[in-house]
Structure 1
Amino acid sequence: MGNRKAALALSLLAGTALAAPVQAQEAIEEIVVMAQRRAQNLQEVPVSVTAMGGEQLQEAGLSNSLAIGDVVPNLEIKTFGGVPNIFIRGVGNNDFNSSSVGPVSIYRDDVAVASTGSQIFSLFDLDRVEVLRGPQGTLFGKNTTGGAIVYISKLPDGAQEGYFRLGYGRFNLLEAEAAASMPLADGLSARVSGTLRRRDGERVNIHTGERAIDVDEGAVRAILRYHPDGDHDVDIRLAAGTGRDRSDYLQPKPDGQINGADLFGYRDPAPGDVKILNFNGDSRNHSDNDWVSLTASFSLTDSVSLKSITGYDKGDVDNRVDVDGGPRRIDQIRFLTGTEQKSQEMQVAYTGDGIQALVGAFYFDEDFTSHSEADLVGELTFAQGAVPLVTDATRANKSYAIFGQATVNLADDLRLTGGARYTWDKVDATHQGMLIPGFFDAGIPDGAPIALVPFAAMGDTFKASSWRLAADYDVTRDVMAYGSVTRGFKSGNFNIGIITSVAERTKVDPEFLTAYEVGLKTTLLDRRLRANVAAFLYDYSDLQVLSVNQQGSGVPTLGLDNAADARIKGIEVEVTAIPADGLDLGLNLGILDAQYRNYTSGAIDPATGRPRDFSGNTLPGAPKFTLSSFAQYRVPLNDTYSAAFRAEYNYTARKYYNNAQDEAVSSRGGHGLLNLRVALSAPEADWELAFWGRNVTDKAYIVDATDLRDFGLIPLYYGERATWGVEFTQRF
């Protein structure tokens, strides 16, 4: 209740300030986005987009690609086994297997990052991040039924400039970040940037006496750009980067379901105390990622331009998770994955005669390998029924697409947009699961492998079209209304993760989503108030859903199925205002109603003897209410120094982590987080000294839960504890 009151109070505060007389001469900066693969003012794009600049990302303390979920309405992100589960408007991926493919695409600059292991990376030296909500299958391709998130690097522009930032915080947090741009020759410039972040564990593992959940990550990036001064006809960018993560995995606390204990009678010695863990398995979240991209743009005529985008990405992941979170060997898993992807995209753009058009072709080639070692019920000997399961899988995916979109000015204040894409996917996969007696027992020779899930080679081709139709109308010079109908799809796939029976090795067909959306974008009061509203209705069919089913056998089964359909509807409100000199306010609000329709699982519920009926249940990762807000006040102290005071409040309502709308496998209520920041700066000297605190009330909140009731427990994963620190930034 306290969180709800805080959210309401801050909302009313923002509303009061917005209604106050406007006295300032400041104006909200225009935001340029590439949501339609061309530069446009955010307020002129008939798409629901949230855009955050590099400075805003730093002030919010967002350090990696998954952190933005706290500040974008109807965006939820979690991770398990190194696999990010991203949900936009309730459309997402709840599959923890590394072979999973989500319906939200991640882009690093212009290149799609398909590998789940490569989608988790450090945020540093960015120009902005764009979150596009709703299907983006026309211009951004397949697997975007939920939307797309685009991370855009800061580019060299021929000037010599840069910065460095150093920070220290609680739990011996050390952060360092630096970037520099330099001209090399006429029209040729370069930018090099990097980041390092290390922190001792924020919790204690009493089983070993050591700290747990350490952080150790770093990345570098270099961009070479040829862009002759004053010549917009040529822009060639060669970019390369590498990232390394040697952090611990986010370990859970077990919630015993058998009189407060698990299958073996173990109880958490400190229930509810998120500082205390007690696990005996290895914990790591290690990954390496290398990537290269080449983007070249040329103006062929005054109205026609050509763009080529070439990308290469390689990722290797080694994740080890003690899933049960206790001192016994019940469910310990190691994930080893490797992914190599190559992509090529060609675009031809036309602007003239009241038409903006883009046509293109896309090619994508991915090779994926997976090896997992699951020590299931290792507390028992093999003869007594333990499951030492070793799984090997591969996937080769070749994808081809042609696409186009055009916007036609029907009148000075009315525009019509139409686009379509046709995609051809060829997927080949192999999979096997072996029981190897003695595999996890030191000093005991491995027994003869037993083909629990025999080797199989599978393949199929998936073809589908996606399209978009939209209209936008300038009600006034500062008010634009739009409406759209969009059809998107997520390609078919094979369930090749950790499974214990041939029946679980399923093929799923493509899922489809038709989205209806209307919106209003306004810039009022001499550009001191920006208010955008969107309402949407989704008709979602053939959902690809991972079901964790209890069979009473001691080992839960995992099924990847096509659910019947779902209906999603909601509203988003985004407001930014400067009601007084030096005062900035922001309020983002998401309201969501996402439910399965006519969805009956193929698994039998042992309690009833009938198939489990999930119809009417709330989709995983779809809280009914999300809010993010901030208030920042800048004030000059004298002719040399100025100060800035910033407060953020982010609230997320209850969300479920399985299909059964199960209270035990949920966040068990909503939670609100309060972040504070105070900065002293000398604008003329280009330096800033800032003090910050995140989750300053030390709120304990659940970010994930896993249904392991066949083992007598539900592992609960808690979010980061209260942290604080200081940072110094110098620009030159």
Structure 2
Amino acid sequence: MITKTMLSLSVAAGALFAAAPAFAQADAPQAAAETADQGGFGDIIVTAQRREQRLQDVPVSVTALTGEQLTGQGVTSTHDIAQSITGMTITESGGYVQPFIRGVGSTVTNLGEPGSAAFYIDGVYMPTVNGQLYQLANVESIQVLKGPQGTLFGRNANTGAIIITTKQPQFTPAGSFSASYGNYNSFVGSGFVTGPVSDTIAVSLAGNYDRHDGWFKNRNPANGLGKRVGDSKRWTIRGNVLIKASDNLDITLSGDAMDINDASPIIIQPIDRYQGYVPGALLPTGPYDYIGNEKVGYKVEQQGASGKLDWDLGGVKLVSTTAWRHYENHSIDYDSDTTPFRYSQINNNDVGNNFTQEILLNSDNKSNFSWVLGGFYLRQNGKLDPLYVLSGTTLTTIAVKQITDAYAVFADGTLTLGRFDLTGGIRYSYEKKVITGSLNGIQRLDHVKASWDSFTPRAVLAYHPTDDMMFYGSFSKGFKSGAFNANALSPVPIDPEKVDAYEIGGKLTLGRGFTVNVAGFHYKTKDLQVQALNPITNLIELRNAASVKSDGVDLDVVFAPTRKWSIKFGASYLKAKFSKFTNAQVFLPVPGGDGRNASAIVDVTGKRNVRSPDWTLNWAVDYTIDLPGGGTLVPSGNVYYSSKFYWTVDNRISEPQHVVINASLTWNLPGDRFSVTAFGRNITDELRFRNVSASAQADRRAADEPALYGVRASYKF
């Protein structure tokens, strides 16, 4: 397994270590990832079991990163998270964010698609994966929970949960501002301010703006030859009000809005050949060439409001989170065939509203039995408003409305008997969907209904031979809800996807700021929801067709003996294969044809699951250098390695192994208020892709970010 790339990776990691560069300081406050004052890394607090616990005491595979660590490692959006998390890939398909963790994930892009990883922002559940390209400015922490979290996090946590916590209001005035400029005429500005309005009310306001020129160039003379394609503009704003209603009752009111205008997720090109290709015809010469005939666009809007109540009832804590969200996702003139000709063009308008209500009751953890009870409700009203498909000169209009009601109740408890912890939990989920749809104005579906329910238990046995060691074994189940095939206007529902997961692991604290966490796992995924592609329209069609087995080992090592420096190393080995998949749709090149592919149904049992590399590795180090006269210099860096993985179920199209290196050098002026940072992301300009797929017209791909670099100035008080 030792390759030239692995060797260069090791050299790069050694160079970063020698320069003492990016597992950024872990001094940040706040519940989700706060640290005590002991040698760089103290007790990291996580909420993986829906209550605050030390990371080293939680029998779950969790990676927790502070906002400072994310910045130091060059992680600026949810798209980048996998660079700091081993065993994980985050790819996209037409703006749909699709995390895979330990060989479990979803490639589906259906109406109301929840994905396989539960996203939470400040306790608010984000039920759809389209548009989840969240910027990570003004973020306090991220927790990534690996493995099915069906008991505590519900309907779409088959692969895990991603919990984002933003900076919250404080009664001490504080703020931070930063602005950066870099190549591709990029500018990023962000700010956060907080302070008291009275003795019982504090407020905060956070916002960021991000723009850059596109790194794609048009190579089609009929469509603006030489012009840059994919200019991006994004902004977000979030406001919070904290009301201390009494010594025992806190009320937090929040509102946010997000706007994205960035075509990058849907700018695709053919790989080597396409329908109609003849020698001398137009082909891209590089990964950032665009030869399509459409002026593509992709726009996302989200607005939301929430209210959270934290009430200490004396021995029991009640947490109620009520939220409403509106989302719109518009794919504009999506050139799905990738060719210079108009074989297929898609305009998709996915619009909806979500209402969620969750109630948690937590024990005070003062006895040998701690517990949590919960209830959850979701109503999602989504629609394709409408979906236009142009195939040649034929225009097809699909209009769909779907209402989803999801209910759940759950209980989880841990009994401590000496040095043993026994944990058991169960969740009951019920979901109903009603769909109505028309094709070219003619109704095809009229309030067609389907419902599903599921029990998702978990059981954990943990043993603490000392206060600094824990070993555990666990079983858990995950449940991804059933669905209607909205694009195909089919009245036949798709069954839920379920995962059985077994895990054994250990968490060791070996000294001051030195932890080693390891876990081995075995997963069985049944009734995998997979998608087929209509050869004419390039629209997605769903089916239950496969089973997957995933086996592997994760290792995370953190060494931070002082506040001056810290090192993080992570490694994951994974084998994820289709244990049964006899009716897979694939697209195969037509021998001696005109460049097109032919759809075929084949048996891919034994093939590797998609987007699941055998190896992922991560190194992150930083070092603080004291300067004469005050101030500090902090070199930081992050190295991420992924081995080869496959994009198609027949393993015909693969992503080569790649290494992504991020680095920064920060000068903190005396007083620690002003700082200047030189930064680079993907500094070796490593080529990798956001998405690769096959269709009737072409094998197609969308390139990920090239090398990005710039300078950032920051101020905080």
Mapped partners of 1:721, 1:395: distance in 2: 39
CA distance in 1, matches of 2:60, 2:610: 25
Match among 319, 331, 346 for residue 319 of structure 1: 331
1:472 CA drift (Å): 1.5
Deviation larger for 344-353 or 146-155: 344-353
CA contact (8 A) 1:249 1:319 kept: no
- The one of 372, 379, 382 equivalent to 1:365 is 379
Written as runs of structure 1 = structure 2, the 5 A alignment for 1:565-576 is 565-576=547-558
2:269, 2:292 within 8 Å by CA — same for their partners in 1? no
Q: Which amino acid aligns with 1:217?
A: R
Structure having greater relative contact order (Cα 8 Å, sep ≥ 6): 2
SS at 1:102 equivalent: coil
Question: Structure 2 CA distance, aligned partners of 1:62 and 1:106?
Answer: 17
Q: Does the 8 A contact of 1:261 with 1:267 survive in 2?
A: no
Indicate conservation of the 8 Å contact 1:506/1:561, yes or no.
no
TM-aligned CA distance change 1:407 to 1:563, over 3 Å: same
On the 8 A contact 1:162/1:178 being kept in 2, the answer is yes
The letter for the 2-side match of 1:42 is: L
**Which runs of structure 2 are paired with 1:95-106 in the superposition (5 Å)?**
95-106=108-119
| 1:294 to partner: Cα distance | 0.8
Aligned to 2:211: 198
Q: 1:676 to 1:620 in 2, by over 3 A?
A: same
Q: Map of 1:258-273 to 2, 5 A cutoff? A: 260-265=273-278, 269=282, 271=284, 273=286
Distance in 2 (alpha carbons) for counterparts of 1:118 and 1:206: 28
Alpha-carbon spacing, 1:457–1:655, altered in 2? closer, same or farther (3 Å): farther
- Give the Å deviation of 1:97: 3.4
Distance 1:289 1:180 in 2: 22
What are the within-5 Å matches in structure 2 for residues 126-145 of structure 1? 126-145=139-158
Residue 114 of structure 1 corresponds to 127
Alignment of 1:129-528 (within 5 A): 129-207=142-220, 208=224, 209-227=226-244, 231=247, 233-255=248-270, 260-265=273-278, 269=282, 271=284, 273-301=286-314, 303-320=315-332, 321-351=334-364, 352-371=366-385, 373-378=387-392, 382=393, 387-411=394-418, 413-434=419-440, 454-497=444-487, 499=488, 506-527=492-513
**Separation in 1 of the partners of 2:586 and 2:168?**
55
Query: 1:444 aligns to what?
Result: none
Aligned partner of 1:437 in structure 2 is none
Name 1:727's counterpart in structure 2.
712
Whether the aligned pair in 1 keeps the contact of 2:629 and 2:670 (CA below 8 Å) is no
Q: SS at the partner of 2:300? A: strand
Determine if the alignment matches structure 1 residue 684 to structure 2 residue 690.
no
State the SS of the aligned residue for 1:343: strand
Report the CA distance shift for 1:415/1:12 in structure 2 as closer, same or farther (over 3 A): farther
Map Cα deviations across residues 566-605 of structure 1 (whole Å, 9 max, x no partner). 2111111111213677332111212111111121117699
Are 1:715 and 2:700 matched, yes or no? yes
Q: Per the alignment, do residues 353 and 373 of structure 1 end up closer, same or farther by CA in structure 2, a change over 3 Å counting?
A: closer
Cα deviation, 1:299-324, whole Å, max 9, x if unaligned, reads 112x1121111111110111122223
Task: Work out whether residues 195 and 202 of structure 2, in 8 Å CA contact, stay in contact via their aligned partners in 1.
Answer: yes
Aligned-partner SS, 1:243: strand
Distance 1:490 1:173 in 2: 39
What residue is the counterpart of 1:440 in the other structure?
none
Query: What are the superposed Cα offsets for residues 316-354 of structure 1, whole Å, 9 maximum, x if unpaired?
Result: 111122223332212321110111011111121223431
- Aligned residue for 2:265, secondary structure, equals coil
- 1:4 equivalenced with 2:6 (yes/no): yes
Change (3 A) 1:515 1:27: same
Structure 2 CA distance for partners of 1:104 and 1:400, relative to 1, 3 Å: same
**Structure 2 contact 521–553 (Cα < 8 Å) conserved:** yes
* CA distance 1:369–1:403, shift in 2 (3 Å): same
Mapped to 1, the partners of 2:70 and 2:218 lie a distance apart of 32
Deviations 1:477-506 (A, max 9, x none): 211111110012111111112x4xx7x664
| Alignment-derived partner of residue 48 in structure 1 | 61
For structure 1, the residue ranges without an aligned partner over 5 or more in a row are 19-23, 435-448
Q: Secondary structure at the match of 2:453?
A: strand
Give the counterpart letter for 1:212 in structure 2. Answer: V
Separation in structure 2 between the aligned mates of residue 707 and residue 180 of structure 1, nearest angstrom: 47
Residues 283 and 388 from structure 1, CA distance in 2 versus in 1: closer, same or farther, beyond 3 angstroms?
same
CA–CA separation in structure 2 for the residues paired with 1:427 and 1:359: 26
Are 1:538 and 2:523 an aligned pair? yes
Once the 2 structures are TM-superposed, how far is the Cα of residue 115 of structure 1 from its aligned partner?
2.3
Identity of aligned residues (%): 26
Distance 1:176 1:716 in 2: 31
The Cα shift of 1:14 comes to 9.1
CA distance in 2: counterparts of 1:679 and 1:639, whole angstroms: 17
Determine if contact 2:148/2:160 at 8 Å carries over to the other structure. Answer: yes
SS in 2 for 1:563: strand
Aligned to 1:443: none
CA distance in 1 between counterparts of 2:147 and 2:476 reads: 8
Shift in alpha-carbon separation, 1:719–1:240, aligned structure 2, 3 A: same
Shift in CA distance, 603/674, structure 1 to aligned 2, threshold 3 Å: closer
1:693 corresponding residue in structure 2:
680
- Paired residue for 1:446? none
Q: Matched residues in 1 for 2:651 and 2:98: separation?
A: 17
Using the alignment, how far apart are the partners of 1:414 and 1:424 within structure 2? Answer: 34
Aligned partners of 2:347 and 2:387 also within 8 Å: yes
Q: Does 1:591 align with 2:566?
A: no
**In the aligned structure 2, how far is the partner of 1:48 from the partner of 1:266?**
53
SS in 2 for 1:358: strand
Q: Deviations over 1:151-177 (max 9, x none)?
A: 111112211001100100001101100
Q: Cα offset for 1:619?
A: 1.2
Structure 2 counterpart of 1:130, one-letter code: Q
Q: Give the whole-Å Cα distance in 1 for the aligned partners of 2:197 and 2:585.
A: 64
| One-letter amino acid of the counterpart of residue 249, structure 2 | V
Q: Which amino acid aligns with 1:224?
A: V
Find the counterpart in structure 2 of residue 442 from structure 1. none
Amino acid at match of 1:572: D
Change (3 A) 1:548 1:597: farther
Question: How far has the Cα of 1:227 moved from its partner?
Answer: 3.3
**Change over 3 Å in CA distance of 1:410–1:695 after alignment to 2:** same
Match of 1:612 in 2: 602
Q: Provide closer, same or farther for how the CA distance between residues 195 and 252 of structure 1 changes in structure 2, counting only shifts above 3 A.
A: closer
Q: In 1, are the aligned partners of 2:267 and 2:296 still within 8 Å (CA)?
A: no
* Match of residue 639 from structure 2: 649
Look up the equivalent residue of 2:713 and give its one-letter code.
Answer: F
2:274 and 2:699 in contact (8 A); partners too: no
Instruction: Please report how far the alpha carbon of residue 128 of structure 1 lies from its aligned counterpart in structure 2 after TM superposition.
Output: 0.3
Q: Distance in 1 between matches of 2:152 and 2:257?
A: 27
C-alpha distance in 2 between matches for 1:147 and 1:330: 39
CA contact (8 A) 2:293 2:339 kept: yes
CA distance in 2, matches of 1:457, 1:657: 36
The CA RMSD over aligned residues, in Å, is 2.7
* Contact 2:100–2:612, Cα closer than 8 Å, also in 1: yes
State the distance in 1 between where 2:715 and 2:388 align. 48
SS of residue matched to 1:250: helix
| Post-superposition offset of 1:661 | 1.8
Q: Given the superposition, is the C-alpha separation of residues 74 and 62 from structure 1 closer, same or farther in structure 2, using an over 3 Å criterion?
A: same
